[in-house]
């Protein structure tokens, strides 16, 4: 059963698309769909996120990222050489104005097993947190506990979240700027209660791609500001900073992201990660060793103006 409607391959109207022809738009949509499938498949493979026999609980908030996650996992399951089950779960936190029919209608139409968990965390948070104080930390702690319990009740051994590359980068900078830690958001990690495997199959996907994909697939997005709380302001600033960098220095954000998977512990200062105390010389040349006063090469030397001038003078 192909449970995924294939709007991604369907031409859409050319209005608002810069006068592109329907064929061109269809081609771009198709490329986007393929790219997303490839990136999600790659992340799943790289981190061994899903194995044969798994039951994956896909957390569906009604936002673009979680819709894209469910959609792409369903597509990949059709093609996967292994068998795994998917259950979509939404936690209805009883925020005022939450349109409770939207997700069940969408999931019925897809034919995906699903569960809506009704828990009025909104009232609890409102009761316990004084007016004007930020409610997100209690709200998300309550949500986390409920989702772990639901995963147990549904017999799910994996919990899939829709966080993407930009969420991971923003978290990385938030932790660095405000927490003094080099720490991002893991693609796969055991939950803090030690009982669940949390996976983020969208870890390699750019946010702008999920935005476009949501438009192409026409997901019935539920607004995320129903609780009335402000989105984390610092995260907003970091998002803006990254977008600005990407605009002014194309490739910089991509490089920062790849640095997260190319860590050189001996060139950092964490004594837990690298044993500086017992370090010994072994007389063997090592390109990863210290290069004394030399600058780390960070650009192709011939492209650096100073080097070009120096080469001319020598
Ligand atoms: S924005 Fe609202 S729903 Fe989201 S974590 Fe904060 S309080 Fe909870």
Instruction: Spell out, as residue ranges, where the chain has pLDDT lower than 50.
Output: 1-16, 300-314
Strands 158-160 and 188-190, how do they pair? unpaired
pLDDT score of 306: 45
**Tokens 């772990």 label which residue?**
148
**Distance of alpha carbon 251 from alpha carbon 266, whole angstroms:** 26
For ligand 1, the distance from its centroid to the CA atom of residue 93, given in whole angstroms, is 10
Q: Is the CB of 227 under 6 A from ligand 1?
A: yes
pLDDT score of 191: 93
Give the strands of the sheet with 55-59, arranged side by side.
114-118, 85-92, 55-59, 158-160, 197-199, 188-190
**Tokens 């292994």 label which residue?**
82
pLDDT score of 249: 97
**Distance of alpha carbon 164 from alpha carbon 264, whole angstroms:** 24
pTM: 0.87
Model pLDDT for residues 32-57, shown as the tens digit of each residue? 999 999 999 999 999 999 999 999 99
Model pLDDT for residues 61-93, shown as the tens digit of each residue? 999 999 999 999 999 999 999 999 999 999 999
The residues pairing with 194 across neighbouring beta strands, listed in sequence order, are none
Q: Is the CB of 136 under 6 A from ligand 1?
A: yes
HEC per residue, 260-288? CCCCCHHHCCCCCCCCCCCCCCCCCCCCC
For ligand 1, the distance from its centroid to the CA atom of residue 293, given in whole angstroms, is 49
**Residue among 151, 133, 162 nearest 61 (CA):** 162
Pocket test for ligand 1, best of 62, 97, 139 (most atoms within 8 A of CB): 139
pLDDT score of 17: 56
**Distance of alpha carbon 42 from alpha carbon 62, whole angstroms:** 25
**Distance of alpha carbon 58 from alpha carbon 55, whole angstroms:** 10
**Token digits of residue 38:** 């490839």
CB 204 within 8 A of CB 40: yes
pLDDT score of 136: 84
Angle at 85 between CA 83 and CA 87, to 5 degrees: 165
Locate the ligand 1 atom nearest the alpha carbon of residue 125 and give its number: 7
pLDDT score of 244: 97
Please give the full DSSP string across 83-116, using - where no structure is assigned: --EEEEEEEE---TT--TTHHHHHHHHHT--EEE
């Amino acid at each position: 059963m192909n449970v995924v409607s294939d709007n991604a391959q369907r031409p859409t109207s050319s209005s608002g698309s810069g006068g592109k022809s329907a064929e061109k738009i269809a081609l771009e949509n198709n490329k986007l769909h393929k790219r997303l499938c490839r990136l999600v498949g790659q992340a799943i493979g790289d981190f061994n996120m899903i194995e044969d026999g798994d039951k994956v609980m896909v957390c569906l908030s009604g936002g673009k990222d979680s819709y894209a996650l469910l959609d792409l996992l369903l597509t990949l399951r059709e093609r996967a050489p292994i068998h795994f089950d998917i259950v979509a779960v939404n936690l209805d936190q009883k925020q005022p104005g939450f349109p409770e029919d939207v997700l069940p209608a969408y999931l019925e139409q897809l034919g995906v097993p699903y569960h809506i968990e009704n828990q009025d965390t909104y009232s609890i948070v409102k009761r316990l947190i004084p007016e004007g104080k930020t409610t997100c930390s209690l709200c998300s702690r309550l949500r986390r506990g409920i989702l772990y319990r639901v995963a147990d009740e549904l017999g799910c051994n994996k919990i899939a979240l829709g966080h993407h590359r930009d969420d991971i980068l923003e978290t990385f900078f938030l932790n660095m700027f405000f927490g003094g830690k080099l720490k991002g958001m893991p693609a796969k990690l055991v939950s803090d209660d030690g009982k669940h495997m949390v996976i983020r199959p969208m870890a390699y996907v750019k946010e702008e791609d999920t935005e476009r994909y949501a438009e192409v697939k026409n997901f019935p997005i539920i607004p995320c500001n129903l609780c009335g709380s402000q989105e984390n302001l610092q995260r907003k600033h970091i998002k803006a900073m990254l977008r600005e960098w990407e605009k002014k220095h194309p490739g910089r954000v991509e490089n920062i992201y790849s640095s997260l998977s190319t860590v050189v512990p001996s060139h950092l200062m964490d004594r837990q990660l690298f044993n500086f105390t017992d370090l010994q010389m072994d007389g063997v040349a090592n390109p990863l060793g210290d290069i004394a006063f030399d600058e780390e090469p960070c650009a192709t030397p011939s492209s650096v103006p100073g080097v070009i001038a120096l080469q001319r003078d020598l």
